[in-house]
Structure 1
Amino acid sequence: MANVSTLRFGAQTDEVTSLLRIVNMVRLGEAVTRPEIGRVTGLGRGVVTQRVDRAVEMGFLEDAEYAPSSGGRAPRTLRFRSERGRIVVCALGGLHIHVGVTDLDGEIRAEAHRVWDIASGPDETLAVATSMVDELLETDGNAPVWAVVVGLPGPVDFETGRPVAPPIMPGWNNFDVRSRFEERYSAPVWVDNDVNILAAGERARRREDNPDLIYCKVGTGIGAGLVSHGRLHRGANGAAGDMGHVRVPGAEQQCRCGKIGCLEAVAGGWALIRDAREAVAAGGTGAIADILASGAELAPEDISKAAERGDALAISLIQASARQIGEAVAALVNMFNPSVIVIGGAVAAAGELFLAEVRHRVYELSLPLATRDLSIVTSVNDAREPLRGGVDLAREQLFEAVFPRWFAEGRPTLGAIRGAAIPA
């Protein structure tokens, strides 16, 4: 058997490959006894025993209860030691911070939520976010942090972990978000667009289907996360799916990005608030007019709720947004040919009223073959969606993308993954 030095610095041998595979098979529940591992991998009994013993020695696996007997001696099951480390997810939205701590199986152990304006800037925002995380970690045992995932409401270069010209995040352009978290938690950090994290969460719910899906978020802004054969598609620089800034023919509204006629400037939540204010100023009445008359801030959720209750102005705004979203999604359907489109976000919370209009436009404008097996559904609308998506992304990166780099250490380190020293 190779020693730790060989495992760490040598080429990825058959032994290393099979060891990694066995750990992941047990972790995912694909094979949890030694006989099952042998049948799935084709490895001999002695080799399986060696690999499992090694995984146990390194702290990844341990023996658990006995499995049901099939006629002979009952085999002992193996379990992945998910309690050895913790995963931190920090989901930053335009107007909120949502943080959570999970074990390595993705079980949420603690979470916290706070209203916050992302326009407060990176230093102040990340100070608040890390303080929230620290409080959770202090009350959740002493297992080390193995990974951190940060979601941002704007374009992100996934390779560097830096936001790039985010329209609603003044002061964030090219800010080194990854280093801020790595220095604090001495753990690898992945930073991604918030819609990609939502798409990862939806992928996790449909893992067995190895899906091709689009997660379309219609909230204050608009974005899409693309999953192809179970893999997130980010494009060359992480900009894939930024449908909110696709030009709408004939539109003349100025977008927050500085351009004219973007989809977000026509159909996003902030655009609906603008149009609602204009309609009320022109004499419109109803629930939205009542909210504005009270002096309260109007939010996209207010328009969705008013539409569900039958408010005429709200319904017209929601349907107009849905028509434009449907046209943009139809173009994605023709190019990407997904099997599932999931619609989420505050504006889409209007439910079937919004979804029916999107479906109508997609089926009207897309090719018959592209829509033959297509389903268009609303998201589960679970407040924990960003946390579950972040955990799925973290586990994918840890145990698939970079596992060979760090597994000989017994836990992920910055030195193994990034080639960087761990801060004192």
Structure 2
Amino acid sequence: MTKTAGRFAPPDIQGLQGRAGDLFQLLRDGRARTRAELAITTGLARSTVASRIDALISSGLVGPAGEASSSGGRPPSRFAFNPAARVVLAVDVGATHAVVAVTDLAGSIVAECRLEQEVADGPEAVLGRILALAQELLAEAGRPLKDLAGVGIGLPGPVEHDTGRPVKPPIMPGWDGFDVVPYVQRSLPVPVLVDNDVNIMALGERTAYWPEHSNFLFIKVATGVGAGIISSGQLQRGANGTAGDLGHVRVPRGDDVLCRCGNYGCLEALASGPAVARQLQAQGLDAATGADVLRLVREGRPQAVQALRQAGRDVGDVLAAAVNLLNPSMVIIGGSIGEAGEHLVAGIREVVYRRSLPLATAHLRIGISMAGPRAAILGASQMVTQHVLSPDVVEATLAGSAIAG
């Protein structure tokens, strides 16, 4: 078992309304506080704070965290967020694999398993295997179904986030318009949230390692190429869930290169793992996949190093325009090629810093993913906790518990 916890950005105190769900947002950073400290911070009456804390303790979301020092008399009790109160099922579906994990409400991974499978097998086959594995992992973690707060799923294609339906995904035959949410809820009757895999990678990477950056781009370079865009702290999905589809932006040098989308010169057709492998294969090297490209780079083959550096320049050509348009302070390169491709990142930096406006790059950092292959799992977990721990949902949960009681 491994654990990887994220960081939580504190809420705006001015926006608190005095409900238990609002008060809970202050405690989500994990720092223990007394009732008196909460009353001072929020401006609420101590009696109001006491009743809200009692409700949160009853729900299990908040628990005792020792005693504060006393200047005389009985020491006051401290309370803190209890991330172990519930668990989240986080799922990362890739083109040729799926990773399923159980996390606590702070994003710490308590059980995890990788499943080798083809997304092209279709939604029912893929989701059926994932749901069976999910039951095994919940049992391994010692958590009954009633402890499950929600399910977060990342898919390798455009997703209509409000419904969870894939929208014409190019590498997912049989998935277009499939009702993922109700299918999963037949086995797991909890909130189910679905998004594009690069979006949740951006969410996971930023939450865990770069919460201070409100304008953030995550670039995935793997079987395909895509971007997750966070602007002013909010994930940007676009009108139809296709925001960030850098892979099908035209690259000038690719006029004669046909992409699987039917257009010529797409970035994915030149800079993805399979595309670079095809270029090396044409030079007589043994390369069929992105993994082969990285192997050849590790072996010191100059053709592979040059090809990966050129792929980085191609990504940089497209990314330079995005940097001018969105003005991020942080760009992170991830995906199976991006995480291991230092030469790729060098090519990206070379072009972005040369082609973007000086003002846009004055404080811009470009780096390699720190979350690595766990970025999507952390993001899927975060997507669920953002929903189930929001003020309105916590308030509704507490009201439901009171009625049930």
How high is the TM-score relative to the length of structure 1? Answer: 0.85
Task: List aligned pairs for 1:192-211, cutoff 5 A.
Answer: 192-206=195-209, 208-211=211-214
* 1:54 aligned partner: 55
Query: Residue 235 and residue 401 in structure 1: after superposition, are their counterparts in 2 closer, same or farther (change >3 A)?
Result: farther
Paired residue secondary structure (2:128): helix
Q: d(CA) in 2 for partners of 1:15 and 1:364?
A: 45
The SS at the match of 1:171 is coil
Residue of structure 2 in register with 1:95 after alignment: 96
1:31 Cα deviation (Å)? 5.8
Once the two structures are superposed, residues 143-197 of structure 1 have per-residue CA deviations (whole angstroms, 9 ceiling, x without a partner) of: 4211100110111111110111111111111111111112210001000011111
Distance 1:77 1:352 in 2: 47
Question: Contact conserved, 1:25 with 1:31, CA < 8 A, in 2?
Answer: no
SS of structure 1 residue aligned to 2:372: coil
Taking every aligned residue pair, what percent have the same amino acid on both sides?
A: 39
Kindly indicate whether residue 219 of structure 2 is the aligned counterpart of residue 229 of structure 1: no
Q: CA deviation at 1:402?
A: 5.2
CA-based RMSD: 2.2
Matching residue of 1:414: none
Q: 1:59 to 1:410 in 2, by over 3 A?
A: farther
Matched, 1:168 2:158: no
> How far apart are the structure 1 equivalents of 2:72 and 2:229?
47
Q: What displacement does 1:72 show?
A: 7.0
- Higher mean alpha-carbon deviation, 27-36 vs 96-105, is at 27-36
Instruction: Supply the AA of the counterpart residue of 1:377.
Output: G
Query: What is aligned with 1:33?
Result: 34
Q: Indicate the SS of the match to 2:331.
A: strand
**2:25 equivalent in structure 1:** 24
The separation in 1 between residues aligned to 2:84 and 2:218, in whole angstroms, is 31
Q: CA deviation at 1:58?
A: 4.0
Q: Does 1:385 align with 2:375?
A: yes
Structure 1 residue aligned with 2:263: 259
Question: Which stretches in structure 1 are left out of the alignment for 5+ residues?
Answer: 1-13, 281-288, 293-297, 412-424
* Equivalent residue number for residue 249 of structure 2: 246
- Between the aligned partners of 2:95 and 2:89, the Cα distance in structure 1 is 20
**2:274 pairs with 270, 274, 279, which one?**
270
Residue 17 of structure 1 deviates from its aligned partner by 4.5
Equivalent position of 1:283 in the other structure? none
1:231 maps to amino acid: Q
Contact 2:164–2:194 (Cα < 8 Å) also in 1: yes
Compare relative contact order (CA 8 Å, sep 6+) and give the higher one, 1 or 2.
2
The question of whether the paired residues in 2 share the 8 Å contact of 1:197 and 1:389 is answered with: yes
Deviations 1:183-225 (A, max 9, x none): 2100010000111111011121246415211000001100000
Distance 1:205 1:400 in 2: 18
User: Equivalents in 2 of 1:378, 1:276: separation in Å?
Assistant: 24
Q: How does 1:351-370 map to 2 (within 5 A)?
A: 351-370=341-360
SS of the residue aligned with 1:196? helix
Which range moves more in the overlay, 255-264 or 316-325? 255-264
What secondary structure, in the 3-state scheme, does the structure 2 residue paired with 1:190 have? strand
User: Which of the numbers 326, 329, 341 marks the counterpart of 1:339?
Assistant: 329
Which residue matches 1:328?
A: 318
- The separation in 2 between residues aligned to 1:241 and 1:150, in whole angstroms, is 18
Cα gap change, 1:352 to 1:83, in 2 (>3 Å) = closer
CA distance in 2, matches of 1:303, 1:111: 28
1:110 Cα deviation from its structure 2 partner: 0.6
Quick check: 1:308–1:350 contact (8 Å CA) kept in 2? no
Aligned partner letter, 1:302: D
Deviations 1:225-271 (A, max 9, x none): 01112221111222111111112235232222233221111111121
| Displacement of 1:39 | 2.0
In structure 2, what is the Cα distance between the partners aligned to 1:408 and 1:241?
Answer: 37
CA contact (8 A) 2:101 2:137 kept: yes
CA contact (8 A) 1:305 1:350 kept: no
Q: Provide the TM-score with structure 2 as the length reference.
A: 0.88
The residue identity in structure 2 corresponding to 1:221 is G
Q: 1:314 to 1:71 in 2, by over 3 A?
A: farther
Corresponding residue to 1:152 among 152, 155, 163: 155
List runs of 5+ in structure 2 lacking aligned partners: 1-14
CA contact (8 A) 1:207 1:230 kept: no
**Who is 1:10 aligned against?**
none
TM-superposition CA deviations, 1:383-417 (whole Å, max 9, x none):
32221121111111222275267323557xxxxxx
CA–CA distance in structure 2, aligned partners of residues 332 and 342 of structure 1? 13
Q: Hey, what does 1:186 align to over in structure 2? A: 189
Rounded to whole Å, the distance in 1 between the matches of 2:385 and 2:99 is 19
CA distance in 1, matches of 2:85, 2:208: 24
Q: Is the 8 A contact 1:87 1:391 kept in 2?
A: yes
**Post-superposition CA distance 1:318-338 (Å, at most 9, x none):** 011101100111111000000
Secondary structure, in 3 states, of the residue corresponding to 1:90?
strand
Cα distance in 1 for partners of 2:391, 2:202 equals: 18
Opposite residue 159 of structure 1, the aligned amino acid is D
Q: How does 1:3-18 map to 2 (within 5 A)?
A: 17-18=18-19
In 2, the alpha carbon distance for the partners of 1:155 and 1:245 equals 13
CA deviations over 1:350-404 (Å, ceiling 9, x no partner): 4432211111100111011100110000112533222112111111122227526
Distance 1:72 1:223 in 2: 60
